[in-house]
Amino acid sequence: MRFRFYFLFIFFTVLFLFYPGDSLYYHTFAYNRHLFNQKEKRLSFKINQIPYVKTADEPQVSAEAVYIVDLNSFTPVYKKNSQTQFLPASTVKIITALVAYDVYDLDRVITVKNVVSEGQLMGLAEGEKITVENLLYGMLVHSGNDAAFALADNYGRDKFVDIMNKKAQKLGMEKSNFTNPAGFDDFSQLTTGYDLTLAARELLKNKLLKKIVSTKEITVSDSEYKNFHKLSNVNKLLGEIQGVGGLKTGFTENAGENLISFYKHNGHDLVLTILKSQDRFADTRELINWIDNNIGYTQVDGLSLIN
């Protein structure tokens, strides 16, 4: 009895497979057997080069926070307290510049009122008429606090600062909060190394702002050619180290020395962010030396899918 059952099961199974009806086998193999005879096709995907650290040695710096990232792949190559909040000082001006670029036309002429006289200044005069573009140079090259406040106050300081925070959130700067456009100390105005790197990446996408932060010296005037402002970049490494193209300094007694640098290395763009350093330029030199000796790149490809 059991033998007859197995025989019938095998018989009807074979019959089903070779029956030219609407069976699954019939449609997937009998009518489409040419698909199975084709040679395998492979789709290869080439991925950007990604950095890797050659040694386990860490750079020796005084900065309390460091974040170094390869912009091509946004792969971090070194980080130290990158999510810890610190006072930003004038690195805030990156966000100020991004917002000013969004809300103004570059050739818009602003009349300077209530001139700020604290800290680093480009030297604006009360009642001076000057373009937004020249104020951006004064703020990003010379780190002029008067330029930052002129841009914010003409729009409405509170509204401008509100847009700064919205811009930061849009960029993913989740641990940042801004209360003024120049970076004056306020213990509710905080950011992180990681967040500032996001802001720097956004600035570098903008051709004009990227050009401005890489400018070593420039003289700009008001729209009536009465006042001329000679501006020198606060970043001493610009022009000293090949490959450094800006980006933004920051310093107050409470914040310490901050510096965000744009650096080209072996065809790759890197951003180096350091916060609360005792010597931001020495630390950045050390980090660049460490990059030059320890960072390599590998091509990731050969990832294939069978089609």
End-to-end CA distance of the chain: 48
Q: By the 8 A CB rule, do 91 and 109 touch? A: no
Rounded to 10 degrees, the C-alpha dihedral 267/269/275/279 comes to 40
* Phi-psi category of residue 99: left, alpha or beta, with phi > 0 → left and psi -120 to 50 → alpha: alpha
Active-site residue set: 90, 93, 143
Candidates 49, 130, 141, 53; CA nearest to 97 is: 141
Q: Cα–Cα distance between 271 and 247 in angstroms, integer?
A: 9
Amino acid at 249: T
Q: By the 8 A CB rule, do 119 and 92 touch? A: no
Amino acid at 216: K
Give the residue carrying structure tokens 């992180």. 192
Q: Cα–Cα distance between 261 and 251 in angstroms, integer?
A: 15
